[in-house]
Structure 1
């Protein structure tokens, strides 16, 4: 089995026409020869990601999903800009080559970036890595260190100070995700009323030092060096990136972090090997982040609960497209169950919280 991330056959209804893509790329990227082969990366539930293979070069194309999309989401130009400017201070961003604004070409805007060949971890650690618990712990800490490094980037020096408004960020996120959730409601969706009221009541002030917020930092969005799998060589999926509170970003990441002691229904939701022997627990994750960043965190429950609600909002937006027949991707049929489970997880955190 190949350890590096592999593309597969394109899903039905999400095809790209190589006869349209090829001349456009050759007009904008010097030196391309031959005809491209196009396949699709199977992961991800938001923007669609394709592999464009020429005889001597490989590229990755990103485009928005089909169907109804949340306002301001899937901004290809914004993601293209982030990749090229953030790279000045954070060298894990793939190089972006071209942003196409002509929607008539493939039905939407898109951009093309370099392919960073490496290992992307999914639900479990590949047995070929043969990591022991000590190596897994070191990898976990490298993963957290990279997040801390991102949060310490001088975004003004990268020319990205206008990417977001850090003042009032926490309040806007709580209110904004509440509104987005309501717009994506389906008849079978939970209300989240108790959790939303608690988040508004317990809302802290913005952290005094703002940072780049990735908003989707998890193991399947980082690329490991195939020669040295302990080393992170790339970070992907910058579509949700903004300027804001780094602890809110930590909460986003923790929402995906399912540890070994979590119950079986929660384990079914896991999409990264955060349960593996040697991986830190959520509490250890927070403590290590605090140590490395120098940020004191005394209201972990709020940020974790926010992350769970925000994740439910994303899940519900995707399920909304499936519910209304805007996508045929069968993976999304079970997203309503994930939403309900996330609400129960949040209520359990609130019930035990000292806030």
Structure 2
């Protein structure tokens, strides 16, 4: 999927080729049959990514290399890891202005991983996460072009007619944001009931943020395909041209709905060099976007409005919802770790991540995208 991610051992230390959730002895013969090339039978698997979401493996063999995606082992919320939906949206977007990897093979159940899965092409490129690779986007102009490409692709996604690409029934767009607030509110209720997710003061504030969002759900201006987790490190950029995105990845939360949900969450993930405390505290993931040349959140929003034609008066609500959604996701991980359902390594770095996101959501709802008092 990316040449910038160096495959290594699994999070639990499992060596190359022997990874949780996928056996090369089964994957190889299955690929040989599905792709019509016996050289796939002997393969090695290497995990890509941290394993908090769908599991991703690079599969190497004498026939070449591909990427395998499957749900988490012992997953809890099956609808959040629907391999069929992810495969379907990538297939539908092939040939549009939205760059996606080609789907090569899939299985609804049974072999090769005893769970729904699919195989897609390996696209080489750079995933900008943390520090940028040496020599890539090392000028302000190149970083500006990378930010512009991110907005352009999001605008292109939201301009795709779902019916024209076979995705007219991919979701229920009417009432989408109200259902999203309810859905993530229920996810939070489940995490809170399991205990151990967050301090009680944070839990109370998170419940209050849920109620505040539910009380003022904006009316969607347009219904489109939404990615659900659009951010710079879910895009794979050309290694030689920072102004070109070669593939958008991780479509597991995609559906039909309000496109401003994508923009709101993108702004939550975005870092600026002079961010004030309320924004900086909520940034639990590293990001290169605070480097000079990357656009500010205001510049991103302005470019998106210009490209999409949408009115951004209600954007603060969508940013607050993005903070709420991310807080619930992290609280759910902490709750599952506390219950012993998933490895403790999945919660690494998250112990103090929920409360600042709640504070950011409250701040943005009350004051818009203005800076907080320092």
Q: TM-score range by the shorter chain?
A: over 0.9
In the other structure, the counterpart of 2:56 is 49
Q: Which residue of 1 aligns with 2:29?
A: 23
Deviation, 1:267, is: 7.2
Secondary structure of the residue that 2:342 maps to in structure 1?
Answer: coil
Match of 1:200 in 2: 214
Rounded to whole Å, the distance in 1 between the matches of 2:71 and 2:34 is 21
- Output the aligned Cα RMSD: 2.2
| Matches for 1:81-160 after TM superposition, within 5 Å | 81-103=88-110, 105-129=112-136, 131-160=138-167
Q: TM-score under structure 2 normalisation?
A: 0.88
State the shift of 1:134 in Å. 2.2
Offset, 1:155? 1.4
C-alpha change, 1:69 and 1:166, in structure 2 (3 Å) is same
Would the aligned equivalents of 2:272 and 2:290 in 1 still touch at CA under 8 Å? yes
Rounded to whole Å, the distance in 2 between the matches of 1:285 and 1:144 is: 7
The whole-number CA distance in structure 2 between the counterparts of 1:221 and 1:211 is 19
Residue 126 of structure 1 and its aligned partner are, at CA, apart by 2.4
CA contact (8 A) 2:136 2:240 kept: no
- Name stretches of at least 5 consecutive residues in structure 2 with no aligned partner: none
Runs of 4 or more, structure 1, over 3 Å off, are none
- 1:71: how far off? 4.1
Measured after TM superposition, the shift of residue 158 of structure 1 is 0.3
Kept after mapping to 1: 8 A contact 2:98/2:157? no
| 1:65–1:354 CA distance, 2 compared to 1 (3 A) | closer
Q: 2: distance between equivalents of 1:69 and 1:90?
A: 34
* Equivalent residues in 2 for 1:184-333, closer than 5 Å: 184-185=191-192, 186-189=195-198, 190-191=202-203, 192-207=206-221, 209-263=222-276, 266=281, 269-328=284-343, 330-333=345-348
The range that moved more, 33-42 or 144-153, is: 33-42
**2:342 paired with 1:335:** no
TM-score by length of 1: 0.92
Cα 1:227–1:283 change in 2 (3 A) is closer
Q: CA–CA distance in 1 between the matches of 2:181 and 2:95?
A: 31
- Deviation, 1:193, is 2.5
CA pair 280-304 structure 1, distance change in 2 beyond 3 A: same
Unpaired runs of 5+ in structure 1? none
Q: Contact 1:8 / 1:42 at 8 angstroms: preserved in 2? A: no
Say if 1:84 and 1:140 are closer, same or farther in 2 by CA, change over 3 A. same
- Write the distance in 2 (CA, Å) between the matches of 1:151 and 1:339: 29
Counterpart-to-counterpart distance in 2, 1:354 and 1:8:
39
Equivalent in the alignment of 2:10: 10
